[in-house]
Chains A and B, each alone.
Chain A
Amino acid sequence: MTAEKKTDQISCRKGGRLRGRSFRLLAGTAALLTVSLSCPQGGAIRVSAAPASGQTEKSEDKVTLRIANWEEYIDEGDWDEEEAIDLDDREGTVILGENSMVEDFEEWYLETYGVEVEVEYSTFGTNEDLYNQLTLGNEFDLVCPSEYMFMKLIAEERLQPLSEEFFDIENEQNYYVRGVSDYIRNIFDTNTINGEPWSRYAAGYMWGTTGIVYNPEEISGEDASHWSILADPRYKGQVTIKDNVRDSYFAALGILHEEELLQPDFINSADRLERIADLMNRTDADTVSAAEEILKQMKENAYSFESDSGKADMVTGKVLANYQWSGDAVYTLDQAEIDDYYLAYAVPEECTNVWFDGWVMLRDGVGGDGAKQQAAEAFINFMSRPDNVVRNMYYIGYTSVVAGGDSDIIYAYADWCYGAEEDAQDTIEYPVGFFFSGDSSDPDYVITAEADQAYRQLYAQYPTQDVLERAVVMQYFDQENNQRINQMWVNVRCFNLASLTGQDWAKIGACAVVLAAAAVIFRKRDDIFRRRDR
């Protein structure tokens, strides 16, 4: 979601294949039904190969689709046989990524739409990288930036709206609109920029919250559940902060408004979410300068600002708490688990930032080219097909915005990941209906998990309803406000001569005198030593 976020993820992707979990499937799987894998309802799909909506004219022309995505943010296939995921859904689906998702898409598109498509797939490291590439004239058709970046692109009128066909819920191939979680759909419909809802331009891919990964043996869950832990002198040199202005600013505002955000009146108010969003998106001069003070305090107190090293430092025990995105939190917890080191994830009680990465089409790329737009939208749908969602989630370790619609594969996958063993002693009933069916009390979507999953990976991947009731989107700020925040960030990070005290200046003066004396002695060395030698 923010500048350096995905630079982090780069290093984790491979490990993101959650090797820690694979032991379960070794025990569980007897026969590997690799045949049915890549396409669980395969028959059905292939039969309906004729395009349902009729927007395709049979064309021999090859369509070239230029896609840019985060590094290692898609299943690249090539799984080992024993990595096959044997799901406990209605159809007993087995998931195994043989080929890369992109190759599978090309094949599927030819079969389904009768058109050959060639995907030129490239990757980027940060949202800003992508934006700079677009500005410098690199052309893409479909890209996957975080929400603040696609808001910026919408505001600059650089995006192509999704077609009406894309939202046709009757079309079997429209996996996105049929499968996306109601919670996410609602956010994409109600968040607007320049009066236009996100959903007109953007289809979600992955999502999550922000919170604190912590070592429960050293830090109480209570302490970790407040933004103030990041500036807490008791943990001096023990916490890491994100090295990007948006995330750090959000945390600083969480500390700044802590008292108000935790008041019972505030928490129980009917419009709590709107009020949080309002507080956390303030960028007036007073708020920004108050945040600057808090961030300076955080800088003094923290182990480091990090964009890459936080996960490793957490796993190796160098720090006790770490400001993290939920997706990376899952990865961190998995990694630590391999060494029998158990960490936990907390979402601050004040509020959290819910973030998204989403697919958007560029006007420069697809504008006016119907065949291209159709291929781009088909790609989004292919990525949202439940079995493919599972492949990507397994490979990346993040949480897809797709709940599955009619298919129960994705829920089965969540259950496969986190469901407790039959003989497990200490279990809880963890409701995930809020995401899967829009109703937290839905008895169909309750995972029986080991008790500590309530504050571990499951909690990070599928937050409980009370978390989502304090999860707000951080808006894209306009030029003027953005400038103010960025200036504040530079002030925090730079060494300013004005910060030197009289004592410091005295020390500097002393050093200068010593250096000058040394220089003089060196110049006069001939005289000095001649005398002594005689």
Chain B
Amino acid sequence: MRNIRFSRKQLCIPYALFLFCFVILPLAVIVYYAFTDGSGRFTLANLVSFFTNGNTIGTLCYSLVIAAVVTAVCLLVAYPAAYVLARSGLRRGPVILMLFILPMWINFTLRITALKEILTVLEGNLSLHPFLNTVIAMTYDYLPFMILPLYTTLLQLDESLLEAAADLGAGPAAVFLRVTLPLSMPGVVSGIMMTFLPAMTNYVILDMMYNSTYIMGSLIGSYFNIYDWNNGSMISLILFAVICIVTLITGRGEQNNAENRGAVL
């Protein structure tokens, strides 16, 4: 009986099992399909066809552009808001923050449906600006994910550092650019990752906003719909690679500050 000792390591077993069954295994299946043809023979044709087909490359670019624009807009909107909430000592700061977060408690399809109605009133006809509408809807959906990490890092900012900078002769702009901004970079990076990555793949919002141009997610879906699992898997794998690259690039500058990484990520 003694040798069945319960050690702390064993607490990881459920997670490891989960990881294996639902992350590693499916990924292995995707890799298998991506590098085989319809009859199961190894091939690189799927990879080659991705990079030689104007449609797939164009779709990748379109997805990247959407994701980049959404992330940029989110950052531009969220940073000042988070800064004000965290730094200006508003008594009701947390309440206002709650107002930003509140929409997340409501199912997103419902929120997007409501947004559709509002935009219809504003624009008259949704079909006239599909790209703009997509960006608005995604920004709306992902804004809390940008604000939260920014808010937490800005909140933890050491006031004395700012005072020191000011004492040493830095004007407000210099204090912001040389102290506040660099110190809040961990929050910025978390925010970017939490908006860029889903914006890259979320095609439900596009669908709901009547943007009839495919992005990566819908392209993968269309391949699976016609039983072309091999090309579909290859596109998924490439999307996965793109996301890995983005994560690496944004994460690299942050290694020095690893211990400061916002409380959210």
Contact = CB atoms under 8 A, between A and B. Distances in A.
Interface of A: 3, 126, 128, 131-132, 135, 237-238, 243, 299, 302-307, 309, 318, 482-483, 486, 489-491, 493-499, 525-526, 529-530, 533
A529 B174 contact: yes
A493 B171 CA distance: 52
Contacts of B43: none
17 contacts: A3-B225, A128-B225, A237-B127, A237-B128, A238-B125, A299-B212, A304-B127, A304-B210, A305-B212, A307-B207, A318-B126, A490-B219, A493-B212, A493-B218, A494-B213, A496-B54, A529-B178
B214 A525 contact: no
B186 to A, nearest CB: 17
B255 interface: no
Given A303-B210, A533-B170, A533-B171, A486 B59 contact: no
- Bin chain B's interface residue count: 20 to 34
B173 A529 contact: yes
Contacts of A530: 174
Contacts of A526: 178
Contacts of A307: 207
Contact of A497 (B61, B126, B207, B212): B61
B227 A494 contact: no
A497 B57 contact: yes
Contacts of B174: 529-530, 533
B96 interface: no
Contacts of A483: 226
B62 interface: yes
A318 B120 CA distance: 8
A3 B170 CA distance: 64
Contacts of B177: 525, 529
Interface of chain B: mostly helix, strand, loop or mixed = helix
A497 B58 contact: yes
Interface in B181-220: 207-208, 210, 212-214, 218-219
B56 interface: yes
A494 B55 contact: yes
Interface of chain A: mostly helix, strand, loop or mixed = helix
A497 B54 contact: yes
Contact of A493 (B126, B170, B213): B213
Contacts of A529: 171, 173-174, 177-178
B195 to A, nearest CB: 18
B14 interface: no
Contacts of A533: 169-171, 173-174
B58 A494 contact: yes
Interface centre among B56, B61, B120, B226 (most CB of A within 10 A): B226
Interface of B: 54-59, 61-62, 120, 125-128, 169-171, 173-174, 177-178, 207-208, 210, 212-214, 218-219, 222, 224-228
Nearest to B120: A318
Contacts of B128: 237
A309 B208 CA distance: 8
A489 B54 contact: no
Nearest to A3: B225
Contacts of A131: 227
Contacts of A525: 177-178
Given A304-B127, A498-B58, 11 more contacts: A3-B225, A237-B128, A299-B212, A304-B126, A305-B212, A318-B125, A489-B222, A494-B56, A498-B54, A499-B58, A529-B174
Given A526-B178, A533-B171, A493 B222 contact: yes
B178 A493 contact: no
A499 B224 CA distance: 26
Contacts of B207: 307
A449 to B, nearest CB: 35
A303 B126 contact: yes
Nearest to B125: A237
B59 A495 contact: yes
A218 to B, nearest CB: 14
Contacts of B219: 490, 494
A304 B206 CA distance: 11
A128 B54 CA distance: 26
Contact of A495 (B178, B214, B226): B214
Contacts of B120: 318
Contacts of A299: 212
B127 A490 contact: no
Contacts of A491: 55
Contacts of A482: 226
A495 B213 CA distance: 6
Interface centre among A302, A526, A529 (most CB of B within 10 A): A529
A495 B62 contact: yes
Contacts of A496: 54-55, 58
Nearest to A244: B225
Nearest to A491: B55
A94 B49 CA distance: 62
B214 A494 contact: yes
A492 to B, nearest CB: 9
A480 to B, nearest CB: 13
A500 B186 CA distance: 37
A6 B56 CA distance: 28
In order of increasing CB-CB distance, the 4 nearest A-B pairs are: A304-B210, A494-B55, A495-B62, A237-B127
Contacts of B55: 490-491, 494-496
Contacts of B222: 486, 489-490, 493
Nearest to A239: B127
B60 to A, nearest CB: 9
A135 B224 CA distance: 13
B226 A486 contact: yes
B225 A493 contact: no
A495 B66 CA distance: 12
B212 A494 contact: no
Nearest to A240: B210
Given A493-B212, A495-B58, A496-B58, A303 B169 contact: no
Interface centre among B55, B128, B224 (most CB of A within 10 A): B55
B244 to A, nearest CB: 23
A495 B61 contact: yes
A493 to B, nearest CB: 5
Given A493-B222, A494-B214, A497-B61, A303 B54 contact: no
Contacts of A306: 210
B237 to A, nearest CB: 18
Contacts of A238: 125
Interface centre among A307, A483, A495, A525 (most CB of B within 10 A): A495
Contacts of B228: 486
Contacts of A237: 125, 127-128
A439 B193 CA distance: 67
A126 B221 CA distance: 13
Nearest to A486: B226
A526 B120 CA distance: 46
Nearest to B226: A486
Nearest to B62: A495
Nearest to B213: A495
Interface centre among A135, A299, A496, A533 (most CB of B within 10 A): A496
